[in-house]
Each structure stands twice: as C-alpha cells, then as structure tokens.
Chains A and B, each alone.
Chain A
Amino acid sequence: MIFPSNLIQSGFWQATAMIATIVLTSSVGEVQTAAAMKSMGDLDDIRARSGIGGAIRAVVTSPLFVAGIFFMAIAFFSLLFALNHMNLSLVGPAAASLTLVTNTIAAKLFLRENVDRRRWTAAILVCVGVYFLAH
C-alpha cells in the first residue's frame, strides 16, 4: 500500500490512532448533543417563549448536553494534537467524513432516525471518498 508522505512521517498506526480518537470521541459527543437537542424541541420556539437566556439555560443545564460537550472537548484537543503532526488536508476530511459514517450508524441505533437507502448510499460514498483521501 502507498501512504501519503505526511502519514509515513508520523507513523501509520500513530496517525490512525489520532484520527480514530477524534472520530470516536466526536461521535459520542455529537450523538449525546443531538439527543439533548431533540429532547428539548425547536430552539427558536424556546427562545420566543423564554428569551435568549431561557434558551441558553435550557441547553447548558441538560445533562446529556454536558456529557456531549465533555466528549467533544476531548475530540477538539485530539484534533489540535493531530494538526500538530499531520496536514489539515488529511486530518480535516478524514476525521469529518469518518465521523459522518459513525454518526449515521449511531443515529439509527440510538436516536432512532430513519436512515433510508439514500442515507446509507451517502455513507458508502463517503467511505470510498475517505479511502481515496487517505491513500
């Protein structure tokens, strides 16, 4: 297999571990955050009813949201660390696209979203895109 030069410089497994850490922590955080936002309904309605302060309070006092932020913070610092060792053009698209795939699976399993054939096709296209992107 041929790997990009910047991937070889930092070591294949090291680079894989960095990207996997970003993807997994980001997925856990985003699914928890999405569950929190789904549970409270349209934020615009809340803002109309309780003002911007009420909307912010509703969001930041949700335990699911706080847990989501915790995992997203880990993902963020993992991203900073990875950017210090690899190019943005590899880390950015790879992490974002793989997160999209893991989030799609998690959204079907945990958020009960209707992930139809169209959304699965999108996930496969993204997988192939990531393969080309990383090789």
Chain B
Amino acid sequence: MSHHRLSAQQYLILAFVSVSVPLGDASLSHGMTNLPAISLAHPLTLIAAVFTPWIALGIALLIGYFASYLTALSWADLTYVMPATALGNVFVALLAHFWLHETISPLRWIGVVLITVGVGFVAQGPASTTPPLNLPTSINQADNALVEEALEKEQVR
C-alpha cells in the first residue's frame, strides 16, 4: 500500500470511476422509467428488467466502474477512493437536467456544489493512511498451492 503521490495511470482509473457511475446510473434510470411500475409483490420482474438494452448498458458501465474501483482500493484508502464516486453527483445532475429533462431546483444545485467541495477536501490528502491488513488472503493461498504443485512436479522428475 503506497503513501506516495498517485501516478497518471492511477488518476485515470479514478477519473473512470467518477464518469462511469453517473453514465451507468443515467442509463439505468432511463431504462427503469420506461418500464411499467414494479411492485414488491412481483420482485422477479426486476430480474427481467436486467435484459432490456438500457439496463444492460447501465450494468456494463457499472461493471467497468467496479473493476476500476477494486483496482483503486488496492492502492488507496476507501475514504480516498469514495470521493471520486461522489464527484459523479455533478455529472448526475447535469445528465438528469439535460438528458432526462428533470427539473433541478437552485437549492439542489447548492447541495451538489457543497458535496463537490467536501469531496475536494478529501482529495487533497494522502491516498493511503493504513498498511495492508494482515488477513489471510486467497492470493497467498493460491501462491502456496502453486508452489506446492511445482515442488510435487519436481519430486516426480
């Protein structure tokens, strides 16, 4: 876990984390509002909604987000990576206003600005403040298994 400044590639990953969430959410919203109202009595209709084009596009974008998010979490704090996601609120408001034609009141715009300023505070600090946790990890287990397998092959020879 590094405490140094992030590289350009790492900033690009954080930028994708920011952009992919609002785009994915907007796609999901567009898809869900085009569907008839879904009640709790028929929860399986939510599963069927996953296979409609806009929902599928939204899911694809969110999968891309998740891969970038996991990569970022491996070299930065959760409290550092989260603001990148929160920055997406600005994009959400812009997309909701210009694409979905939703009305955004001035008070809501102020809210979006305050959230963005808060996010900026976090972004000024170090990316990581903790050493790696000493938990048993699957990669260690997997590596051990590979080493044991290699030793067994060596013994057979």
Contact = CB atoms under 8 A, between A and B. Distances in A.
Given A61-B142, A62-B138, A38 B114 contact: no
Interface string B98-140: 0010101101101111111111111011000110111111110
Contacts of B37: 84-85
B8 interface: no
B77 A83 contact: no
Contact-residue bracket for chain A = 35 or more
Interface of A: 4, 30-31, 33-35, 37-44, 46, 50, 54, 57-59, 61-64, 76-77, 79-81, 83-85, 87-89, 92-93, 96-97, 99-100, 103-104, 107-108, 111-116, 118-119, 121-126, 128-135
Interface in B78-113: 78-79, 82-83, 85-86, 88-89, 92-93, 95-97, 100, 102, 104-105, 107-108, 110-113
A85 B32 CA distance: 9
Contacts of A87: 29, 96, 102
5 contacts: A39-B137, A40-B137, A108-B79, A119-B79, A131-B111
Contact of B118 (A43, A54, A129, A134): A129
Interface of B: 1-2, 21-22, 25-26, 28-29, 32-33, 35, 37-38, 40, 46, 49, 55, 62, 70-71, 73-75, 77-79, 82-83, 85-86, 88-89, 92-93, 95-97, 100, 102, 104-105, 107-108, 110-122, 124-125, 129-130, 132-139, 141-143
A108 B141 CA distance: 28
* Most-contacted residue by chain A among B35, B55, B117, B124 (CB, 10 A): B117
B118 A123 contact: yes
Contacts of B107: 132-133, 135
A13 to B, nearest CB: 15
Given A83-B32, A88-B92, A113-B79, A118 B74 contact: no
* Most-contacted residue by chain A among B2, B79, B83, B117 (CB, 10 A): B79
Contacts, number: 210
Contacts of B124: 118
A100 B110 CA distance: 18
B83 A100 contact: yes
A133 B124 CA distance: 24
B46 A39 contact: no
A40 B138 contact: yes
Contact of A88 (B71, B102, B125): B102
Given A39-B133, A81-B46, A92 B74 contact: no
Contacts of A111: 77-78, 130, 133
